[in-house]
């Protein structure tokens, strides 16, 4: 979820698209980049109801876990592909929709297969299977040669892993009693690396984990009475990011024809959390929905009051996900950070 993603991903574009505009954007991951796939799943990790989407076009709750646009949309727009990235499931996709890319992301997803199973979300393997099905459709529409070209030149985003740590490892009793934190991180990063290899894509943006311990819900669960940032969750995110950086460097060396870019959202998001006023926010410890300390997904619903007067002044929309303005601002920050590195 917040792995946030968050992404904003724009920063790696110069390195991924080179001189040619990407024909499509294809996204895998969790709720940060889920544009509505969970609407069709038997899961409580949903957001296709108010107050979600209150700042989206037509105030429509589409299944995006925010008050408006999410990273998938901002990147699709930045690439000049389309304004909104549709979910692969549950919508009538036109040939143009399919040829220009979709999101396979599912709220509650993780690299650990148990993470998705616990909430009936699409696992990363499920998303890969759907991508294979999607690939056949693209080639059927565009023809084998042109379809292969679209899939080859597309930008691929992978944004997941936060739920593995925040939910599966620290919140449930199924992993921590049998695996210490370093072992669990090694398992999830190994699975992440295997997924990237099986994806077979040439241009990949891999989004780092955020400072998980500073997400409002994690402050509530592990930050004590004062709801401070919980250090072990942040340590886990830093450990994951460090190991993934090494693994991605290794993959880049092994597959020199590919561009695999590690998008660090940990540092800029942590700065936004610690110094919200510097970014025009008045609140970074709680969200707008309800108390803002624990409500997310089904707990943020039509009966839950919105307690912020201006959601553009809040970093978090619910206790787990950023506001539309926060996503856009983070996107701009990363754009400046990565622009000269490619």
Q: List residues with catalytic annotation.
A: 31, 318, 321
- Which residues are 204's β-sheet partners? 156, 260
Cα–Cα distance for residue pair 236/241, rounded to 1 Å: 9
Q: What is the dihedral of CA 299, 303, 305, 311, to 10 degrees?
A: 70
What would the two tokens of residue 245 be? Answer: 């950086």
* Two structure tokens written together for 213: 């311990």
Q: Are 73 and 83 in contact (CB under 8 A)?
A: yes
Q: Are 62 and 56 in contact (CB under 8 A)?
A: yes
Short-list 333, 337, 332, 336, CA closest to 78 = 332
Measure the CA–CA gap between 37 and 107, rounded to whole angstroms. Answer: 8
As given in the structure block, the two tokens for residue 69 are 């646009």
Distance CA 155, CA 81 (A): 11
Task: Count CB atoms within 10 A of the CB of residue 335.
Answer: 17
> How many angstroms separate the CA atoms of 282 and 275, rounded?
9
What is the number of other CB atoms lying within 10 angstroms of the CB of residue 202?
A: 17
């Amino acid at each position: 979820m917040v792995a946030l993603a968050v992404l904003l991903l724009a920063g790696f574009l110069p390195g991924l698209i080179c001189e040619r505009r990407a024909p499509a954007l294809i996204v895998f991951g969790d709720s940060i980049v889920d544009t509505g796939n969970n609407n069709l799943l038997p899961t409580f990790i949903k957001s296709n109801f108010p107050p979600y989407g209150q700042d989206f076009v037509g105030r429509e709750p589409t299944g995006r876990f925010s008050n408006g646009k999410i990273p998938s949309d901002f990147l699709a727009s930045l690439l000049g592909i389309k304004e909104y990235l549709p979910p692969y499931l549950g919508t009538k996709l036109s040939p143009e929709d399919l040829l220009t890319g979709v999101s396979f992301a599912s709220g509650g997803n993780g690299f650990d297969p148990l993470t998705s199973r616990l909430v009936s979300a699409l696992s990363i393997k499920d998303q890969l299977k759907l991508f294979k099905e999607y690939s056949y459709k693209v080639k059927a529409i565009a023809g084998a040669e042109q379809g292969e070209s679209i899939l080859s030149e597309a930008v691929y985003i992978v944004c997941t892993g936060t739920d593995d740590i925040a939910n599966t490892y620290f919140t449930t009793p199924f992993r921590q009693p049998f695996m210490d934190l370093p072992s669990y991180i090694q398992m999830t990063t190994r699975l992440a690396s295997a997924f990237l290899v099986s994806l077979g894509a040439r241009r990949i943006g891999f989004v780092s984990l955020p400072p998980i311990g500073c997400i409002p819900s994690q402050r509530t669960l592990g930050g004590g009475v004062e709801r401070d940032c919980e250090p072990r969750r942040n340590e886990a995110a830093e450990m994951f990011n460090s190991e993934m950086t090494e693994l991605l460097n290794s993959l880049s060396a092994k597959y020199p024809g590919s561009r695999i870019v590690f998008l660090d959202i940990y540092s800029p998001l942590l700065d936004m959390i610690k110094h919200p006023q510097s970014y025009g926010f008045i609140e970074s410890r709680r969200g707008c929905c309800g108390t803002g300390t624990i409500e997310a997904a089904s707990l943020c619903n039509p009966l839950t009051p919105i307690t912020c007067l201006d959601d553009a002044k809040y970093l978090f929309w619910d206790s787990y996900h950023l506001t539309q303005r926060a996503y856009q601002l983070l996107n701009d920050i990363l754009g400046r950070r990565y622009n000269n590195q490619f």
